[in-house]
Chains A and B, each alone.
Chain A
Amino acid sequence: MPLPTKKFETARFQSRYEERLTRLAILISFDIDGTLEVGDPPGVLTMELVRKTQEAGILVGSCSDRPISGQRAIWEQHGIAYDFAVSKHQLPDVKERFEAEAYYHIGDREDLDRQYALAAGFEFFWPDEAVSEPWLK
């Protein structure tokens, strides 16, 4: 059997990737303060990580105690095409708006992130867990 060419390999990967996206849409909600590098305090997750995640076809947005207009401004300032920006208690609304097979929220607070996320039916990552991008594995 001939070895696949690089072109063939790329096409096969793309096809698998698209199939995965079709079957397994992923949505990731990012807390800001204490989670993203632009937060106060700054978190460990870079905006580059978010951009890469978004470019991989994953639905991304923010769920924060920051004003919604302020959240939007952060995404726009960094040129990231976000899908949603909501207040902390609005994760259930996000789940209702977007159909996905996996919902993740990433945040730094037990009470305001983890508990809200689990109650809304999201899986949860602490920021240091999210650095390795477990949703891509």
Chain B
Amino acid sequence: MTTENAPASMYRTTEGLGVWEHKGKVAAVGIGHSPTTRRWDGTAENTMGANSIFALRQAIADAGVDPADIDGLVLDPVTTTGAHWPPGQEIPMDVVNHWNSTDDPLDGIAKLSAEWILKNMPELTNVKFTMYGQGCMSHAIVVAAQAVGEGRTHTCLVLKSWHNLEGRYNQSGVSAQDEVPGSFALAPGRTLWGAPGSYGTALQFAEYCRKYGKSHDMMAPFMANSRRNGLLFPEGYWAQHRPEQLTAEDYLNARWIAKPANLFDNDIPIMVSGAYLFTTAERAKDMKQKPVYILNHASSRGAQRSVLPTLDEVEKETAETGRKIYEGAGITAADLSFENMYDGFALFHQFHIEGLRYRGMQNGDALDFYQKDISIEGPDPVLPSGGNIGSGRSRFWMHTDSIQQIQGRAGARALTGVKPEIGVSGGPMPMGGNFTVWSATPD
């Protein structure tokens, strides 16, 4: 079975499409996560592939589904943004051969195919639909949601995995080559010789502060809130390994990576896998967990005129994304109980939520909003998952949290200032990402 990238027709990228034709007919039920680690330890038992299998089995068990009933698998085959396998570095064949390998020995170590998963999960005997949603869990989710809606699969696993290797991020593999193709070196964070990954966001944030009279210091409450929520997320890296609160003093004294983006505005790369089980609303009724219905998915494919998007371009795109999200779900900003938009880099979260007009905010309002009560106990929760800042680079904590909040399974992180009925999550970038509206009810 050949696995293809999802066709463009599966994404809802423009305004004017009306309410999603499958609104409320697709549901998330099961959730699974692997343990987190900072880096791969070189053992077969702790490869990214092993983590993937662990997370998938957790999701299946969580949903209470017979693996033989699963007929779909959507995943992201790319498992890093900066931990590239160095060309010429020996591949440990004992690790490769520990598993049922594919033609690519790095499959399951530094990349991931649907074929590798199916070869190593013999219990998945009836998977007939596989597809890639490249980039992150946000991407895979909208592909899976659309696939279930269209009837391509009725019980579908959705997977996102991350590997992390020894050494520094973005300083090995293709990032360390003397020559790279095309415009590769121009994008933030891609090579040794280029700028840090957060520099584009930093430039937009600097312009944002200038335009609206704000300051980087005003981010401190958001950062403390995110880490606090992350420490209440037992699946996350900080909660599992270094349960330290991030104080305003810590944040304000951190060194600059790309001023005004400091060390803690950048998320920490980790090893982790996350998986969900999606199904039809009908089938979900008989499963073990409460269904969380998908009201809409929407995608952003913003075009920039130059090397980096300007603040104006970002604000235009996020506002359009907000309108697409609401239009397809048939809701308004007032219907949102909470938001879980992406934050890895912390300095662009405000672009996402201003685009949403969350709690009525307009452009330039978010940093003032952060000075108020944005906790999970308050009426205006911001990023209850804690996001990547709270739990490490997975790009899926916000989705897990959205599902758990609505299922009533968020534990110590449970929202108490609002009843979690409708939430939105997604990302990654303000100029390009994929977003999902989750609901306690199908309509």
Q: Which of B38, B244, B263 contacts A70 (CB 8 A)?
A: B244
A40 touches B241 (CB 8 A): yes
B244 touches A73 (CB 8 A): yes
Cα separation A89 to B257 with both chains bound (whole Å): 11
Q: Which residue of chain A is the closest to B263 with respect to CB atoms?
A: A65
Q: Which residue of chain A is the closest to B247 with respect to CB atoms?
A: A69
Interface residue count on the B side (C-beta < 8 Å): 15
Residue in A67, A69, A87, A90 whose Cβ sees the most chain B Cβ within 10 Å? A67
Contact A67/B247 with A40-B38, A40-B241, A40-B242 known, Cβ cut-off 8 Å = yes
Interface locus among B86-94, B123-131, B210-218, B248-256 = B248-256
Contact A68/B255 with A40-B38, A40-B242 known, Cβ cut-off 8 Å = no
Contact with B along A32-43 (1 / 0, CB 8 A): 000000001000
Q: B253 CB to closest chain A CB, in angstroms?
A: 5
Q: Which of A69, A73, A89 contacts B249 (CB 8 A)?
A: A69
A87 touches B255 (CB 8 A): yes
Query: Is A45 an interface residue, CB under 8 A from the partner?
Result: no
Interface residue count on the A side (C-beta < 8 Å): 13
Q: A77 CB to closest chain B CB, in angstroms?
A: 12
Residues on the A chain within 8 Å of B241, using CB: 40
B253 touches A68 (CB 8 A): yes
Q: Which residues B240-281 have CB closer than 8 A to chain A?
A: 241-242, 244-247, 249-250, 253-256, 263-264
Q: Which residues A71-97 have CB closer than 8 A to chain B?
A: 73, 86-90
B244 touches A67 (CB 8 A): yes
Q: B282 CB to closest chain A CB, in angstroms?
A: 47
Cα separation A70 to B255 with both chains bound (whole Å): 16
Residues on the A chain within 8 Å of B264, using CB: 67
Contact A68/B38 with A73-B244, A87-B255, A88-B255 known, Cβ cut-off 8 Å = no
Give 10 CB contacts A-B under 8 Å: A40-B242, A68-B247, A68-B250, A69-B244, A69-B245, A69-B246, A70-B244, A70-B250, A87-B254, A89-B255
Closest 5 CB pairs of A and B: A67-B250, A89-B255, A70-B244, A87-B253, A69-B247
Which positions in A face B, CB cutoff 8 Å?
Answer: 40, 65-70, 73, 86-90
Known A87-B263, A88-B255; further 5 A-B contacts with Cβ < 8 A: A40-B38, A40-B242, A67-B254, A69-B244, A69-B247
